[in-house]
Structure 1
Amino acid sequence: MTPIYIDSHLHTSFSGDSETLPRAQIEQACALGMQALCITDHQDFEFPAGDISFLLDTDEYFSALTRLQTEYQEKIRLGIGVELGLQTNIKTDLAAYADSCPFDFIIGSVHASRGMDPYYPEFFEGLSEDSAYRSYFEDELENFRAHDCFDVAGHLDFVVRYGPNKNQYYSYKKFSDILDEILRTLIGKGKGIECNTAGLRAGLGHPNPTEDILKRYRELGGEILTIGSDAHQPDHIGYSFDRAGSLLKDCGFRYYTVFRGRKPEFLPL
């Protein structure tokens, strides 16, 4: 029997890029037989100007999700998390925000690099694809060194989802120097990473980060690993989790992690 893993990265209509009501995500998780899930809507302060606001109404978010926790307490354990956009220039503000709310789980993600969102083509203008990727990894490293206000680093190599050639010419080996430094920094600070299956959904053939990075994290002594679909709609919850479980075992993991009250719990794969 295939284990039913807990989804620790998903979004709802509290995020600027989702229209799905929290109840719909919870109902889908229940239908899949998940014992728990954690909603992690976006909070990106001072995000580069674009078509979408990623500012979270935190008071209303907690109010709504707390009501749903009570309503569904006999069916599923609902965690209240956040995906926090890391930027070094607002380090103090992010730390204060993280401490101001009783989050179960905080994902630290770099969504803005060189003052731009990699989702848009202008991020890659004037640079080779490899140079753009490396500049993004350099920003990640700077942020992970600077911040302590998160539990797990989000989708480490998600920049490749949006490159001109996506991951056609990308590999861990090509960027192993800086990727290893990122992993060592996270491990040294007691932070985890995630296996984000949105890369599989986006047609990359690999999760974010790739199997080679996941394996290297384990080789370097990393133990804290969550599994997340990055779902913005119900049919993406738990996407390819059966495949994720198998590849994580191949990478040397025997356990994955869920968080409750910012504390890790380890569950068998």
Structure 2
Amino acid sequence: MKYLVDYHVHTDNSFDGKVSMAEQCEKAIEIGLKEIVFTEHYDLNPNDKSKGFFNYEKYSREIEECRQKYGDKLIIKKGLELGEPHLYTAEHDAFIKDRDFDFLLGSVHFLGDILLDADFGLPEKELYLKYFSEILELAKTGEFHTLGHIDVLKRYVPPHFKKFLAINYEEIIREILTTTIKRGKGIEINTSGFRQGLGEPLPAVEILEWFYELGGEVITIGSDAHHSKDLGQDLERGINVLRDVGFKAISTFSQGKINFIDI
């Protein structure tokens, strides 16, 4: 694919980011990306280490500096990864208002006040259903353009759990996808699963197939890179997965307005 984009990228403007924005831009140009969105964490859960970390003024200043320096070689866009936005609708609306974000990714990293990588002490099916129920609430009422890494819980579950099979949760996952489509929103294919030992993207291919079957068209692709070495990783592999499923295009956003790029 000639026009490669990465729509899930972090810098040290995120609490867990390990690299500067300028370094990410230089890496993006080096590997041939045409467009990048810095989707920094913005979280309001009081138990989240990210809460209060994001500094919009610093972030916005760095965006402008990078556009000045690299804008002739790379399209640089402003984004956020909103944590549990359905739980903080008023606060998020107030923060986003009058700020020129291009793209909003909606994700779940917490169930209540517990981070996903914690030991919930729940049986496998109960834990997954609890997680997907939270994703469903996000799909119903959250502010976002695409849902982030829908089945990311599979990355964090205890080792004695069986391999995640989407078919075991098909009913609620289809409800999530249907709700998302009806709201005119989409999902992301997150390629981090390939490099983190899962052997598949997030979400799993079956979920992508259901999304396509249900008429879903809005889909972004991102590496979820927190280090330069991970930027753009497996994007081509993700594109090939989308092609195999039947998708003809991926989505990009400018000031919240969607555009489609043929794949």
Q: What TM-score do you get using the length of structure 1 for normalisation? A: 0.93
1:157 paired to 2:157: no
**3-state SS of 1:253 partner:** coil
**Separation of aligned partners in 2, 1:205 and 1:268:** 26
What amino acid sits opposite 1:107 in the alignment? L
**Separation of aligned partners in 1, 2:260 and 2:222:** 15
Query: Hey, what does 1:38 align to over in structure 2?
Result: 37
Query: In the TM superposition, what whole-angstrom CA distance separates every residue of 1:166-205 from its partner, at most 9, and x where no partner exists?
Result: 8843111100010000001100001110000111111101
Query: Hey, what does 2:112 align to over in structure 1?
Result: 114
* Residues 18-33 of structure 1 aligned to structure 2 (within 5 Å): 18-33=17-32
Query: Hey, what does 1:198 align to over in structure 2?
Result: 192
Query: Hey, what does 2:134 align to over in structure 1?
Result: 139
What amino acid sits opposite 2:91 in the alignment? D
Q: 2:222 aligns with which of 211, 221, 228?
A: 228
Query: In the TM superposition, what whole-angstrom CA distance separates every residue of 1:185-240 from its partner, at most 9, and x where no partner exists?
Result: 10000111000011111110110000110111111011011100000011111111
8 Å CA contact retained: 1:227, 1:256: yes
Query: Hey, what does 2:67 align to over in structure 1?
Result: 69
The alpha-carbon deviation at position 11 of structure 1 amounts to 0.2
**Separation of aligned partners in 2, 1:73 and 1:212:** 38
The alpha-carbon deviation at position 134 of structure 1 amounts to 1.1
What amino acid sits opposite 2:111 in the alignment? S
The alpha-carbon deviation at position 117 of structure 1 amounts to 0.9
8 Å CA contact retained: 1:47, 1:112: no
Over the matched positions of the two proteins, sequence identity in percent amounts to: 33
8 Å CA contact retained: 1:106, 1:150: yes
8 Å CA contact retained: 2:13, 2:40: yes
**Separation of aligned partners in 2, 1:213 and 1:164:** 22
**3-state SS of 1:156 partner:** coil
Query: Hey, what does 2:179 align to over in structure 1?
Result: 185
What amino acid sits opposite 2:10 in the alignment? H
8 Å CA contact retained: 1:161, 1:167: no
Query: Hey, what does 2:238 align to over in structure 1?
Result: 244
What amino acid sits opposite 2:12 in the alignment? S
8 Å CA contact retained: 2:155, 2:198: yes
The alpha-carbon deviation at position 130 of structure 1 amounts to 2.0
The alpha-carbon deviation at position 70 of structure 1 amounts to 1.8
8 Å CA contact retained: 2:42, 2:51: no
Q: 1:216 aligns with which of 210, 221, 225?
A: 210
8 Å CA contact retained: 1:42, 1:84: yes
**Separation of aligned partners in 1, 2:160 and 2:80:** 27
**Separation of aligned partners in 1, 2:47 and 2:98:** 24
Structure-2 change in CA distance of 1:56 and 1:114 (3 Å):
same
Query: Hey, what does 1:94 align to over in structure 2?
Result: 92
Q: What TM-score do you get using the length of structure 2 for normalisation? A: 0.95
**Separation of aligned partners in 1, 2:229 and 2:12:** 15
* Residues 122-137 of structure 1 aligned to structure 2 (within 5 Å): 122=119, 124-125=120-121, 127-137=122-132
Number of corresponding residues: 263
**Separation of aligned partners in 2, 1:246 and 1:166:** 31
**3-state SS of 2:79 partner:** strand
What amino acid sits opposite 2:79 in the alignment? G
